[in-house]
Structure 1
Amino acid sequence: MNKEFVVIGLGRFGGSIVRSLADQDLEVMAIDKEEDRVNEFASIASHAVVADTTDESVLKSLGIRNFDHVIVAIGDDIQSSILTTLMLKEIGVNKITVKAQNDYHEKVLRKIGANHVVHPERDMGRRIAHNIVSNNVLDYLELSEEHSIVEIAANDRLDGNSLIDLDIRAKYGINIVAIKRGKDILVSPQADEKIATGDVLIVIGADTDITRFEKKLLY
């Protein structure tokens, strides 16, 4: 069975999540206090509801606890974000992801039981900065404060070298977990696999080690 989602807060962040889930033909309930925003998603989400999610009785009446995952994407109203998260925990929602405005907000959310906290503006800023710094970095996904998965385009300096020739794991402490080559993806490539210019290396490791690799081999 497909998972069912609730998105609370239909600003740019929450709205984009609703659209993405709907595009994947997943069940999603979209909730906001503003009727105009709810109307915008009435034909996109499975259900679109005008509601105050800081009211426990409202959440119960909507059957929120029966959904698999609730995303709290409330914008600048930190108090409503915190109260909504608290209400969701109290009625027994299993998985809650919440958008945080700052580090203090995140600490409070984690203390009251949020399963996952995201900083979309901060994380996107880091992603863009990483792409700007290196022409070879095609994409960047932060796994934690210190570790990431990065897509790096192989250039002429890597062309013809095998993974064992480069000895990347021993020298830099990072792992190439896959290689994109045109439409093909080589998962867990063998040590004798040779890299060609234009290959995209999927690299995982500590940010400092990935940066050392980029500077040594790609700049």
Structure 2
Amino acid sequence: MIRVMLVDDHAVMRAGFRMILASTDDIEVVAEASTGREAITVARDVHPDVICMDVQMPDMDGLEATRQIVADPAVRSAIVVVTTFDRDDYVFQALEAGASGFLLKNAGADELISAVRVAAAGDALLAPEVTKRVIERFAAEAHAHESAPSAEAHNAASAPAPHIAVDLTEREQEVLRLLAQALSNAEIASALFIGEATVKSHVSNVLAKLGARDRVAAVVFAHRNGLA
């Protein structure tokens, strides 16, 4: 069972999420909290697999709560930030804080269930409507000091790999560049003409070498180190 904690200052919202997640056979809501500060305490006591975290709450917001929970070595919960606010600054702050994903509250029930499962599996997700902006934002930050890239530079699979401190093989750097384009394992396998199982192995190696919690952290690294 995937053990989930719901964090939201609106009891009705928590009840709705609980009802949706209760309709599954593999997800159980084991705790709730109504403030960020309460979420930190409960997370330490309950150790949920996934935390669905609201952003705007009294006492302490969800972004600061996420930072503190992620920084706590005793808590290994994956955090999915769930909010009504489709704002770039929330998205970037949530990812910088260590969240494994970002989902809007107007997402469908299937999307919420999928988000919990994806986070529990150690992967990362973004709502489709914000993924493009996240990639563009980090790309802009990484290349702000450079001139505009040519069209050929967008071909990440064939672009020459710059020197980086992390000891990634040439193939792992190719995989990382494609991860930075938000490609799935299947799409990466197709682009590199290798099996999906091989891609999964490369992704695991990349995350381990980078010390990255998940694919989102790897994407941030790639854009900030000129690998995208």
Give yes or no for TM over 0.5. Answer: no
Larger helix proportion, structure 1 or 2?
2
Whose Rg is larger?
Answer: 1
- What TM-score comes out, normalization by structure 1 length? 0.40
Q: For CA contacts below 8 A with separation 6 or more, give which structure has more relative contact order.
A: 2
- What TM-score comes out, normalization by structure 2 length? 0.39
Larger strand proportion, structure 1 or 2?
1
